Structure 1
């Protein structure tokens, strides 16, 4: 399935904040987690993820620190959600719940409905 750029852009912030809210992590792990959560339907690139991470950091929704990974001894930038980021995530969750509820009502909440 090819998701529209508009939908990808709209969902990227709540997805990233949600993944990072699970625990401190780094870019590659975020990409892997998003792919896992979407059953491989969302395949993000570095060119999409890192500008978003930098923007969220500038907005003080995330903070970061450089750390050496124990298993690889490589230096990685780890991200964690801030208190302000937690509040923004709660707002995003409420907004997406309204949208999801409206879509379910208009499409019908049927088990036999399949996205094509």
Structure 2
């Protein structure tokens, strides 16, 4: 499934629900919560997390409590606001698309 244009919302939503987590946990949460639809490679997720951090939407720190040092990510206040705004925008988009193509039926197709 193509996530271009929606990756930020997905990452911000996972971080909003999960709290401070390392990158692999973000990848696993995306995969698990989407029943495998979003099984994204590290090469997609880590650069996006770094980009969100540069934008001030995500903060990170090194966690040295585990046997191996790893980076832990969490939403900033601005990140939470951005997630809420992106979610509202996404829901408006879905509503508009459904108005055009029709709602899903019990069989999964309109």
TM-score (norm 2): 0.90
Aligned partner (choices 56, 73, 77) of residue 71 of structure 2: 77
- The Cα RMSD (Å) is 1.4
Alignment equivalent of 1:45, drawn from 21, 32, 41:
41
**Stretches of structure 1 lacking an aligned partner (at least 5 in a row):** none
State the 4+ residue runs in structure 1 displaced beyond 3 angstroms.
none
Q: CA deviation at 1:113?
A: 4.6
Aligned twin of 2:16 = 21
Aligned match of 1:12: 7
Helix, strand or coil: the match of 2:5?
A: helix
Equivalent residue, structure 2, for 1:95: 89
SS at match of 2:6: helix
Runs of 5+ in structure 2 lacking a partner? none
Count of aligned pairs: 108
